[in-house]
């Protein structure tokens, strides 16, 4: 067989390889869509390792270098995950704790979209510009993020997931700054509140800002050498800044709980929670009667929070989290009974419990 004929055979083989890779990517995209529906992360390290072991065994049997095949397949994995990949919106600048929550929930292949406000996060998901939003709902030290509850009340979005992120605050400054020169510190009000003892001890002036990572960006862009920011270690790395002190929060037991938002919630997983909001008549015993339905059906309440209705003074909406999925029969029965005691009941979503 001539050299030209051999090259033509290689060309045909290359065409088959490319078409098969394209087909694999299309199949991966379908898998990604199913993961989205079920609220599962794109990354699956165990599955990836299983595929690599299988491929390397085939390579060994065919007399091909296993390491080279592994390298080729890692590139194919990347293309496949890019096809599966999702976009998640969050409030803040790159390096914010909400961005970290996006990566923890969806995996490192997620594309993140920073937003100036929580309202903007909701809006992007509602308008189908992104499939998911990740928003903080409460901090273990400073309590609830009230704006998120207010937005959930009037939004059609559902809570499809939750996660808890350990918050590790750092004092961050320009590379030429030193701790002795710092006079003022910028950060989100909650971050400032969580580091009160550290800040008071050093006598810093505290300046509230809309975002932790945004504070780092601000002192970098303004070349401030007498100011620092409280934010994550990742924020310092992203903006090329120096960490003057690490883990400066008053209490090490500092976690923020996040909700993952979408047009849909999640199917039952067997270990679920449901979030609702309801309102009862402003009469003696009405709240007790409503809550009693959960106790009677042995549904464990994990949180209850009240927020003003803003329609009439001293009347409240109640936000409730409890174990179980809205599709469970006992949950359906309980919600039906709750409606009988309530002015309204809205299911915000059912989702797998954070682990």
Q: Are 315 and 267 in contact (CB under 8 A)?
A: no
Give how far Cα 130 sits from Cα of 36, 48, 173, 343, Å: 12, 26, 33, 33
Distance CA 142, CA 36 (A): 32
Q: Which residues contact 276 (CB under 8 A, 6 or more apart)?
A: 319, 320, 322, 335, 345, 346, 347, 348
Cite the DSSP H helix spans in the chain.
3-38, 45-61, 66-84, 97-106, 118-126, 146-154, 189-194, 196-202, 212-221, 233-238, 286-296, 329-341
Q: Which residues contact 36 (CB under 8 A, 6 or more apart)?
A: 86, 131, 262
Per-residue DSSP letters for 170-192?
A: EEEE-TT--GGG--EEEE-HHHH
Per-residue DSSP letters for 67-117?
A: HHHHHHHHHHHHHHHHHH--EEEEESSTT-HHHHHHHHHH-TT-EEEEESS
Catalytic one among 90, 106, 256, 274? 256
Catalytic one among 198, 204, 258, 278? 258
Q: Please state whether 252 falls in left (phi above 0), alpha (psi between -120 and 50) or beta.
A: alpha
Tokens of 183: 């006079």
Tokens of 3: 């050299």
Annotated catalytic, 256? yes
Q: Are 121 and 91 in contact (CB under 8 A)?
A: yes
Dihedral of alpha carbons 265, 268, 274, 278, sign: positive
Annotated catalytic, 13? no
Q: Are 55 and 70 in contact (CB under 8 A)?
A: yes
Give how far Cα 24 sits from Cα of 18, 78, 84, 100, 282, Å: 10, 12, 11, 30, 59
* Active-site residue set: 256, 258
């Amino acid at each position: 067989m001539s050299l030209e004929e051999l090259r033509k055979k290689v060309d045909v083989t290359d065409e088959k390889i490319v078409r098969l890779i394209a087909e694999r990517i299309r199949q991966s995209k379908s898998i990604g869509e199913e993961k989205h529906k079920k609220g599962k992360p794109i990354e699956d390290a165990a599955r990836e390792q299983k595929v690599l072991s299988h491929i390397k065994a085939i390579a060994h049997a065919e007399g091909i270098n296993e390491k080279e095949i592994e390298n080729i397949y890692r590139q194919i994995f990347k293309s496949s995950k890019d096809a599966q990949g999702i976009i998640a919106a969050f409030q803040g600048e790159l390096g914010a704790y909400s961005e970290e929550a996006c990566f923890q929930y969806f995996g490192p292949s997620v594309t993140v979209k920073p937003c100036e406000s929580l309202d903007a996060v909701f809006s992007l998901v509602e308008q189908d510009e992104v499939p998911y939003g990740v928003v903080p709902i409460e901090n273990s030290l400073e309590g609830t993020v009230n704006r998120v509850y207010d937005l959930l009340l009037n939004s059609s979005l559902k809570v499809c997931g939750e996660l808890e992120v350990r918050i590790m605050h750092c004092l961050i400054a320009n590379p030429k700054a030193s701790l002795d020169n710092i006079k003022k510190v910028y950060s989100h009000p909650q971050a400032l509140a969580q580091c009160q003892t550290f800040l008071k001890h050093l006598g810093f002036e505290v300046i509230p800002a809309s975002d932790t990572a945004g504070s780092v960006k601000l002192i970098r862009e303004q070349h401030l050498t007498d100011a620092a920011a409280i934010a994550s270690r990742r924020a310092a790395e992203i903006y090329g800044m120096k960490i003057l002190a690490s883990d400066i929060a008053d209490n090490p037991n500092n976690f923020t709980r996040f909700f993952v938002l979408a047009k849909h919630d999640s199917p039952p997983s067997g270990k679920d929670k449901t979030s609702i909001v309801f309102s009862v008549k402003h009469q003696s015993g009405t709240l007790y009667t409503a809550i009693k339905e959960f106790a009677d059906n042995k549904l464990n309440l994990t949180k209850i929070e009240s927020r003003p209705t803003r329609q009439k003074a001293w009347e409240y909406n109640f936000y409730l989290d409890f174990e179980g999925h809205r599709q469970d029969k006992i949950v359906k029965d309980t919600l039906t009974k709750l409606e009988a005691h309530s002015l309204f009941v809205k299911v915000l979503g059912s989702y797998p419990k954070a682990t």
